[in-house]
Structure 1
Amino acid sequence: MKTKMEGETTLDDHSKTIIHIDLDCFYAQKNIVVTSNYIAREHGVKKCMLISDAKKVCPNLTLVKGEDLHDYRQTSYKVTALLQSYSNLIERLGLDENFVDVSNLVSKRLQESAVTVTDAVGNVFGDLNDLCDCGCSGRLKMGTVIAQEIRDRMKSELNLTGCAGIGHNKLLAKIAGSKHKPNQQTVVFPNSAVELMLSLAHVSKIPGIGVTLTEQLCSINIKTVEDLQNTNFGKLMNLLGPEKARTVYDLSFGIDHAPVKSTGKPQSIGIEDSCKSLTIEGEVREKLKQLLARLLLLVSEDGRVPKTIKLTVRKFDKTSKVSARETRQCNINSTIFNPKDITKLTDTNENKLMTCIMRLFNKLVNTNKPYHITLLGLSFTKFVERPSARSTLTKFLVKDIEVQSITNIENVQETVTIPEELPSTSNAENFETEVEPSAKKMQIWRVACEKEAFEDHGAGGLRLSLQVTGGGVEVEFDGKADGHKSEYLLSSERQRGGIRELPLDMQQELWEEYKQNRDRDKVCSSQLKKSKTNNILNYLVKH
């Protein structure tokens, strides 16, 4: 298909086969009806209807509590895992929708199959006459066979039903799948793409065109899909800009170049709960504490450690009768989480986290004035991979690099190799660790050490060596110019406390200590006794 826009031509690519899977009536939530089955819809139950209103129109309504989505998430990931046996290009849309690019599988089956697929499986939208001769018809028919296999397996293995749409792009596959529900599938061939788009009537029904864009289009009297197809492109470009105008114009003809993007781990994991009006800070804190416990369970299943927490609050204004949502977020120290089981917070760390959350709440809500909270939500963002309990201070200092010692002014270097691991301790399983620093931080640390050493000792240089001992890690600075030595002993007890990363300011402080205390005896006796509260030696040496 071709569409003309001010002398330019946009070509429609028919080479792909995309399946859109939409699970039937997947989940619900208390206070409002997030979704309902088709029998309930026949009785007037609609999405986002208050439960009290839903019971009025359907007194025999059976409600499923959707406050805790743990089981729904688990089932949703099982569906995704099933789809991954057909393609590695799976794009998740929430818990109940997935795009699957089966183009490679279709090509493989068509090459291996001795029998040609003559009929499409399931429903067909539009006319089967005048089909395209580029080969897309055969590919899409094979796509319907695969879609039926997927739906059959979902039923037999997971006891789930769902609808499927099959098309040569994501847009058409999604719209086609909505034409016959529940538990059915529909394919649309390229020759019927325009007809399918016109069946949507209003432009707001086009996937990808939201409320704001709909209002913009209506402002220049574009209300229906047909209006959009017949509009002057220059007028549309003045409103939206050239790139966005071209995308929107193409969508009206069923042309969508967006690829199926393989979905990785989510950037944010959150949970929120609408509630009866909360007016007391103690009630808010208790509700947030419950949400935190449930959120930690979700994060533990993800396997990563969060670095930022975000609070969402919906306040109801009795004067204007309007609810408004606001959010605030702050960074958190990832070391408060137990790497073995992130759900198990110590009382101290739980209090730290709750203190952060309540500070965010007090920034969003003026508790000195009456307030009415109708929704609270918590989410974690900015994740890092969970560290191994075997991470050690030595790994921080020497992972994949060697400590260099400058031996003369010609920069002839002697390499000292450092052991990879410290000896294991009896309670290693109780480590609370941070993620190991990047190689870049390690390089900065090493270069700074060498630069400091060279400046202090000139051509004579300085030897830096580390040795693993029964008491911990011994760091020795041997100044050849004046025969001076200095050592720092890092006790194994502090290792068990979870030292995983030395910040740059602590590194600098360490070097200042070294320069100011050249005599080993003074470092071992005098400095350890007189160190400041936030001294690096207190950080490293407990006793």
Structure 2
Amino acid sequence: MDHSRTIIHIDLDCFYAQVEMNKNPSLRTVPLGIQQKNIVVTSNYTAREFGIKKCMLIPEAKKLCPSLVLVNGEDLHDYRQTSYKVTNLLQKYTPLVERLGLDENYLDVTTLINEKLNQKSDLKLVGNVFGDTSDKCECGCTERLIIATTVAQEIRDVIKSELNLTSCAGIAHNKLLAKIAGARHKPNQQTVVFPNSALELILSLNAPNDIPGIGRALFEQLKCIGVETIEELQNVDLKRLETVLGQDKAKLVHELSLGIDKSGVKPTGKPQSIGLEDSCRSISVETEVKIKLEQLLNRLLLLVEEDGRVPKTIKLTVRKFNKDNKMSHRETRQCNVNPSIFSSSQPNKEAKIMTTIMHLFNRIIDVKKPYHITLLGLSFTKFQEPPKNTLASFLRKDLEVQSVLSIENQNGVEDAESPVPSTSKLAPTEGESPTPSPKKLKLTNLVSKKRCFEDYYEDCESPSKLKVADLCLDSVSCPPDADKEVFKELPKEVQKELWEDYKRRRASEMNFCSSQVKKTKPNTLLNYFIRNN
């Protein structure tokens, strides 16, 4: 068994409540609950003494604790800000920090512990220990974990001194055991578990769904094969487990029941998506939907601005309630947005984004039919770094292009590289056949088509006046008969649809013009004798 890693799990005590108590110190001495809708999502330990639990209904909580003070916690802005401050502190000890929600973090401190081990410092165990400590492992993990208890205490002290937040810590040789151990003693304490006590720690849990990674749905599947306790899960035949979970998942679940977790700590970068959701009472009017989405968008734009990156995709989530079968289900739609719309100099960007959002909404909901919405959500994904103020970006914005490789992408017309001669200059010379040669015939047709369409394209910009910023390879050209500013803000899917429609109309016109050009007879030997007869 590999015990070479050293993992610390940091869990902030009643995180939302601590943030609110730091903002308003008078709340420290009163029972405090954080309210979201009609639920107490968390509370401080003073309130928990009255029996207040997570996700308890407010009327029930008030009955248990009439003096309960409620603070609205639906706006997560301050919680997110504080959470990232904690993560930044942890990254000073190791780059291997994995965020788990807003209030938990895993740290792989293996390298740091090995460095301290080489320094031959005195071993001093700090905090609580789970299980028997007399049976030491020969691989050296006992010494490493003892040193890790000192590091964990130091980390918790720094979080307390710099951010005024208390926390719990679990120390073990893998993520699973560290998380379970950290929950053994709360609040503001830490616990270490050595490998020889891993099975004992797992068996101390009440049921298989108390093991991190095994949720309620998975537990219901286990019940189908008669597995209802952790001991039964540890002893179940793997082949039998595979019949309901599949080979890979069965092996993973069985290993978790034995305290085995081979997953590594994955460094957490910036989030891949930034989103907000808001459940609500049934909404059946489009104007109310728009008001709710505008509120979500304004809050979401603040988060995007703080993140610093620019999103390229927006996603809308709608939860619909069916009054006939009393069931709810979610639907989502997404589309690309022009990153330039998020520029600080962009006027009315909220209104432009809302146009796209309502377009997505109308793709999910037929407003002509009755509907009942109980949740709305918005999120931005596919982020890119904002453009830097470099000379290259300045030139891209302000310099005009002097040459273009392909004009087809902009206006759909393929001009000749050199000026086309007038048809009056194509008259045959003496002794020459009055029928034009194939090359001249091709030029004649090209000139005819160009004249046919010169009015149609009079609004198209000259290639020499096109800016570099407008020549993106993945951009969609604006049809000459459309408003460019409006077209620019439309979703890519709508832009492509309009462009394809324009190309079809253009092809039809070109075919018509081609049919109007009088086709001359080719220069054949038969035609020569006919003309000279």
> Normalising to structure 1: TM-score of the pair?
0.72
Equivalence for 1:22: 11
Residue 153 to residue 509, structure 1, CA distance change in 2 (3 Å): closer
**Cα distance per residue 1:52-108 (max 9 Å; x no partner):** 433333221122222221111111111001000110000001111100000100011
Equivalence for 1:152: 157
- Alpha-carbon offset, residue 508 of structure 1: 3.3
Counterparts of 1:205 and 1:18, CA distance in 2: 20
Equivalence for 2:247: 242
Counterparts of 2:45 and 2:420, CA distance in 1: 81
Asked whether the equivalents of residues 6 and 145 of structure 2 are also in contact (C-alpha less than 8 Å), the reply is yes
Counterparts of 1:246 and 1:102, CA distance in 2: 27
Counterparts of 1:528 and 1:50, CA distance in 2: 71
What is the one-letter code of the residue matched to 1:304?
A: R
Asked whether the equivalents of residues 201 and 226 of structure 1 are also in contact (C-alpha less than 8 Å), the reply is no
Task: State the percentage of identical aligned residues.
Answer: 58
Q: Does 1:531 find its partner at 2:457?
A: yes
Counterparts of 1:384 and 1:86, CA distance in 2: 28
Counterparts of 1:81 and 1:243, CA distance in 2: 35
Counterparts of 1:385 and 1:122, CA distance in 2: 43
Asked whether the equivalents of residues 164 and 177 of structure 1 are also in contact (C-alpha less than 8 Å), the reply is yes
Counterparts of 1:539 and 1:166, CA distance in 2: 65
Unaligned runs of 5+ in 1: 1-11, 396-420, 426-470, 478-505
SS in 2 for 1:472: coil
Give the counterpart of 1:105 among 103, 107, 112: 112
Matches for 1:340-359 after TM superposition, within 5 Å: 341=344, 345-347=346-348, 349-359=349-359
Matches for 1:415-494 after TM superposition, within 5 Å: 422=395, 472-475=400-403
Asked whether the equivalents of residues 310 and 329 of structure 1 are also in contact (C-alpha less than 8 Å), the reply is yes
Asked whether the equivalents of residues 177 and 193 of structure 2 are also in contact (C-alpha less than 8 Å), the reply is yes
Equivalence for 1:468: none
Equivalence for 1:65: 72
Equivalence for 1:207: 212
Give the counterpart of 1:515 among 415, 436, 446: 415
Asked whether the equivalents of residues 273 and 375 of structure 1 are also in contact (C-alpha less than 8 Å), the reply is yes
Matches for 1:17-416 after TM superposition, within 5 Å: 17-27=6-16, 28-31=34-37, 32-112=39-119, 114-117=120-123, 119-338=124-343, 341=344, 345-347=346-348, 349-390=349-390
Residue 166 to residue 518, structure 1, CA distance change in 2 (3 Å): same
More displaced 10-residue stretch of structure 1: 79-88 or 382-391: 382-391
Q: Which has the higher helix share?
A: 2
Equivalence for 1:449: none
- Alpha-carbon offset, residue 374 of structure 1: 2.8
More displaced 10-residue stretch of structure 1: 353-362 or 311-320: 311-320
- Alpha-carbon offset, residue 48 of structure 1: 2.1
Aligned residues: 423
- Alpha-carbon offset, residue 533 of structure 1: 5.0
Residue 277 to residue 512, structure 1, CA distance change in 2 (3 Å): closer
SS in 1 for 2:402: strand
- Alpha-carbon offset, residue 130 of structure 1: 1.0
Residue 220 to residue 13, structure 1, CA distance change in 2 (3 Å): same
> Normalising to structure 2: TM-score of the pair?
0.73
Counterparts of 1:512 and 1:518, CA distance in 2: 18
SS in 2 for 1:277: strand
Counterparts of 1:263 and 1:63, CA distance in 2: 33
What is the one-letter code of the residue matched to 2:360?
A: L
What is the one-letter code of the residue matched to 1:422?
A: L
Residue 510 to residue 272, structure 1, CA distance change in 2 (3 Å): closer
Q: Which has the higher strand share?
A: 1
Asked whether the equivalents of residues 401 and 463 of structure 2 are also in contact (C-alpha less than 8 Å), the reply is no
